[in-house]
Structure 1
Amino acid sequence: MLFVKSFSVIFVFIILFSISFQGCSSIAAKHDSQSLPVIESSPLHAQEKAHAYFCAGYFSLLDRDWENAAANFEKAIQLDRSSGRIMQHLATCYFQLGKNEKSIDYLEKLAKIKPNEFSVHYTLATLYETVGKYREAIEEYEYARQCKTTKLDHVFLADTLYRLANLYMQEGMMEKGIECYKSMFDMKLVSEPAKIYYEIGQKYFEKNDTKKALEYFLKVKEADPKLSFASFYLTLCYDALHDYDNAIKEAKVFLEKEPDNWVMRLALSEIYEKTNNESQQSEEIKKIEEILKKNIDAGSKNSKEYFLLCQIYRNQRKIDKAIAVVENMKLIPLDKETIRDIHFLLANLYYEDKRFDRVEEELQMALKLDPDFHEANNFLGYLFVENNRNLDEAIQLINKALKAQPRNGAYLDSLGWAYYKKAQVEGRHDYLIKALQKLLEAVQFLEEPDIYDHIGDVHYSLGNWDEAVNAWRKAQDLYKKMFNQEVQIENITTKLEKLKRLISVEETGSKVIKKRIEVKSGIQP
């Protein structure tokens, strides 16, 4: 939210170059397409030729014929290299032609000729900012603010200080940015201090300096208590600082004015979750659900609303409703990336609903839109592995995902598990070794019970029973710390009991064999 209108670069050029020119009146009466060739053939002195080219360029400029204007001004500048007004118009023409670097080049020359001209430094700074040369923009804005200005320049001076403050903050120089804002206060260039404080608070918030952000959002509230957005950010600041009582208080203040703001209600529900207030959390989730349903039924075009309502249903295990919401989202205008994400989300929902044919279909559609979508490549690869099919293709897909994220523990687990399944199908010991290597690498990046479970299975197949027991026990301990993992815990327990019996049988067999050997050898116990 701006406290002062930021002027476009085009408007800056209009202000800078709206100059009345002397000496063009004699040509004005004769201005037509036939007049330009006369310039080449007339035996004029350099200054007169320069003036003639200038006037020809000026008339083209009035007609917005930027190409011809620039061509004539270029001829003029070759004859009069120190002319500031020619440089001004060349900068304008090249800007209009989208040739910002050439425009900048002439403005830089002009700045050397007119070092104390506010409008020149201001315009050059705005162009630097447009092309992303932020350090150079800062330098020119600083030059501009030091120049002598008139009352007519004050609105541009305010814009200079505003832009400079934002650039300093963008570059991480927060204190210099604050100093620019303070200068605006001192020079009485600001009529609404609350919005300035808001700008500062927002910059600190973006830089994760929450305490400073809180300080300025409190100033916003003090300067203008009616501004509800102050309470919005105060809620977020108090939440980040673990001051949940004040966070809840500010959230309620905000929601009194905007009761249907689901973003604030979502933040409030998360605060209630952190404070273990399950009843209030559930109440907020219910209100969010009602708001989102109402918005979507009214034809909302906001994809975030669909995604959030889908997530609410998913958390409630209402998978059919979640799928219906996502299918409904396909009816609104969406960009390619969002459509891709929809297919991926549907794949996850169908997977949870055990509709595996639809999972593959949705993943294939996601990958058709984005073949390098690493999450989908890994998911499809793992789906093939789980079903013992297309194992070579599965390995290719997972390796493609790993190319994007080589240190992703989940992807390494998928690859290790793929090699394990391939070893089972082909009876190859070397694939078991490869599987174990990948799984041990995976667990270095991600300590998940599924990975330890897989490691245990591979060790078991290799005959490393002690290592298998250790891995399965680790998996069992991790599953016990998670919610709703009873099936996995039971599976691990079954594996451990089976292995325990095998070890017992092996030990008994070993004792019997040993005793027989001793008897045959005549060794007395």
Structure 2
Amino acid sequence: MKKIGLSLLLLLSVTIGYGQRTYDEFFLEAMIQRQKGNNDAAFDLLRHCLEINPDAPEAWYFLGQYYNALKNTDKSLEYIKKAASLDPDNETYMETLAQAYIRQQDFEAAIPVVEKIYARDKEREDLLEMLFQLYQQVDDLDNAVKVLDRIEAIDGKSERLSMAKSEIYTRQGNKKAAIAEIKALSEKYPNDFNYLALYGETLMMNGQLKKALKVYNKILKEEPDNNRVLMSLRTYHQALNHSEIADSLTERVLLNKNATMEEKIHLLRQEISASENAGGDSTRVLQLFDKILKQPQTDENMAILCASYMNIKKMPKDSIGKVLEKALAIAPDNSSARLQLIGYAWEADDMERVISLCQDARQYNPDEMAFYYYQGVAFYRRDSLDAALSAFKNGIDVIKEDSDPAIVSDFYAVMGDILHQKGMVKESYEAYDSCLQWKDDNMGCLNNYAYFLSEAGEQLNKAEQMSFKTIKAEPKNATYLDTYAWILYMLGRYSEAHIYIEQALQNLDENQDNSVIKEHADKIKQKIDRQ
């Protein structure tokens, strides 16, 4: 009997060993196929692995991953659960299971899984943060507070943790505990008035106004410019419609050296909104801006906000310009402020001012093409052709693939006009070609290019095609109609030329010099009369 028993045991051992080797071979091949991206093959191999060994957690786990990729979330969860039950000490399986529960918003099921992971690895503070969120999701606020206590035991008391606990106590209706929590924080750091101010805010939020004001007065006695307290008092007096006191506190905050620029801008936006809701009287808001801007500024944001507000209120442009000048004095590289000033100078036909602003801009914003363009056009309008051409040539170097096609197109169009005036005909045509590559419907370029070709008697068919585009786009533009008529004349198509020159004469702008159009009309008429 003993010999038979020994033989059976030996046979069983060999069989098990053979089964494990077979499983290992199939699992290894599955992982190789997975690594190669042959997911169908890997999937089939893993399923065969489970046929060999139904208790292999890794096969369950990877199949669960595949089912998740196939959007079969129920099947995926089933397989991940199985893997975790077979190997509960595997942190990867347990974390994946917790994530699967969370994805399905089964927060109740996720909590014990995360608790088990944390119980084995107390270094994972991120798991406590996850538990805090999960307990809130299931409305288990008592345990949420206990998790915060666990974090506090590791990190120590902090504003974030005390605020979180106080908020939960408030949600539970436990005002006493909410206040006590923040009071304990302020007592732990008695020299930090921010915590004492937080205590005052908590008192106020929970209806203990007298105690809150007493705390605020204590802080202001030591720190008259404590911005947090001033803001809280402002909110308090606004709620009670104490307008004069609230307005006074608003000014104190806006002129407070301890207030950040972000706080001041946020407060001013509130004031602007309140002003607009009350009828839009800008007097008080502009007074506030004026007082603030008389103080030294650390950046240009306040001046920019003021200029934007003045724009909205349609204030005189010279007044807005003065504020933008302040912005540039603080931040000379602010291109948007400078472009706005250039726009004002352009409207006023002050080309000297445009040139000066652009020259400074090229020092602070050397890669901004617009400044070369406006300076070049300003020189051109002042008949300083060499200076204009120099500005444009310098600007070519800063044109990029993502530059604004409209500006680049005009850039080359004006450059072409200048080159033609200087007698550099070949170069002007190259500039026009570049212009049309960026924007093939630049009407001014098409018209000028076509006209100059016709004047030279060159490429008349190309000129006719370009000119036709302009009259199709603007059929009442006398200049474009004249160019097209003249090209038809040069092509010997006199009857057609006569039709279009008549249309040009009908659409003349009385404020322009129309001598060329009339001269063309006379020549075309003479040809028609001779026929």
TM-score (norm 1): 0.43
Q: Which has the higher contact order (CA 8 A, sep 6+)?
A: 1
